[in-house]
Amino acid sequence: MKKKEWFKLKFSLILCLGFLFFISCSKESTEELVLSPSGEVDLSNDTKSVANASVMMQAFYWDVPAGGNWWNTVDAKVTDWANAGFNAIWLPPAAKAQNGAFSMGYDPFDYFDFGEYDQMGSVETRFGSTTELKSLIGSAHQSGLQVYADIVINHNSGGASEANPYTGNDTWTDFQPKSGLFNRSYDDFHPNDIENNDLGKFGGFPDLCHKKINVQNWLWKNSNSVAKYYKNEMGFDGWRFDYVKGFEPWVVKEWNASVGGFSVGELWDGSVDYLNWWANEANSSVFDFACYYAMNDAFDGNDLTKLNNDMMWKRNAFRAVTFVTNHDTDEIWNKKLAYAYILTHEGYPCVFYRDYEEWLDKGMMNNLIWIHNNLASGSTSILYADNDEYVARRNGYNGAGLIVYINNSDNWQERWVETNWSNTTIKDYSGNSNWEPVTQSGKWVKIQVPPKGYSVWSVK
């Protein structure tokens, strides 16, 4: 809970399939890959490819600085993020919430107040004003980034008390926001005359009933609904749905059908069957919690065989958003190996703000993002896994593909692997090895990997 415009590139590769903007198994550039003298990919030469340029930035963390300056902080970074290879940013819930200037937005009150009305103790939100948010979204679009809104529609907060005939007592369900839009009463929440409850309440907040016509009209059906206002007036391009365990997947499906755009649901569950079922029912992507938990067991539990586990990206890469950390959960400590994993494998990887901007080496992260956008295409074949070592091959889609070698031991390791290439010189695009071996006619080659590290091999 604490919970595209495309890149304007120098290449003229144009894709025909709309979903390919958010997956990694797509066409790649055949241009020579440029490395800096240190072995790190040189982004200044703008060699990134449009085809795989699909990495999301979670552009916040829990309890970002209050004071109304967060939109300006992010605004100052979007050009650099676009140049690094990101294609989209996910913003926190942007509208006025019960805790006003101190709220992270997950206690929504007025869906149409982005820092414009004096209510809940402030005019601005924790993040800033309506004008500043629009400026940020405009800057992101100008830089070629899409902007995803965090949508909290399971529950509301901040309503006044009213007598509720369905409960027999007073409930905090009288919402009269100053925007004058989406007024609600006890009839819009559970229990009511048609439904006592849906899939789940959260934190004792009033629980919206999505079967109510008034709720549907104001959330996605009306011309000035939340969904259409966010898209047409504010300029959001996609949606991250909060706590989707709390309501049926048809809600997200109808929202998506009404306004379109990329969407991903926060279904906090490690069951791949459940994740895949929900994604199909909602016609939406879903965060790959199965992958998250497997990586935690693999990298922190020192058992890389856990990467053989079933994951959402293995079931349906088109609908899997992979991640290492988010604003709610930060269990994986061996983040370097985890990012090497998600940025070389299938799915739509999401990078956490503090990992990128504060906690990890930004050069390493930019290198992995570049590798993802230029090399990580095609299906995946797991070649080897034991407690310490893991090797996988991306088989390429109209391109070379790659071999990723991850090592969780304290020593350098070497291994013979079967590649995509015969009689071809390859090199490690991570810069962690200076080997440039030639593959045999049968495509086999010996590669190496540093201790507690990774290497990523492709054609020179």
Residues annotated as catalytic (active site), given as ranges: 242, 266
CA separation for the pair 163, 187 (Å, rounded): 11
Instruction: Name the residue among 158, 148, 172 with its Cα closest to residue 106.
Output: 158
CA separation for the pair 7, 82 (Å, rounded): 7
φ, ψ of residue 237 to 5 degrees: the values are: -105, -15
Distances (CA, A) of 141 to 71, 148, 366: 14, 12, 21
407 assigned binding-site residue:
no
Bridge partners of residue 253, in order along the sequence: none
Q: Are 271 and 311 in contact (CB under 8 A)?
A: no
Question: Is 10 exposed, middle or buried, given 0-12, 13-18 or 19+ CB atoms closer than 10 A?
Answer: exposed
- Which residues make Cβ contacts (< 8 Å) with residue 127, sequence separation at least 6? 64, 68, 70, 71, 92, 94, 105, 115, 133
Q: Strand 88-90 vs strand 56-58: parallel, antiparallel, or unpaired?
A: parallel
Instruction: Name the residue among 333, 426, 425, 417 with its Cα closest to residue 381.
Output: 417
Binding residue numbers for Ca(2+):
154
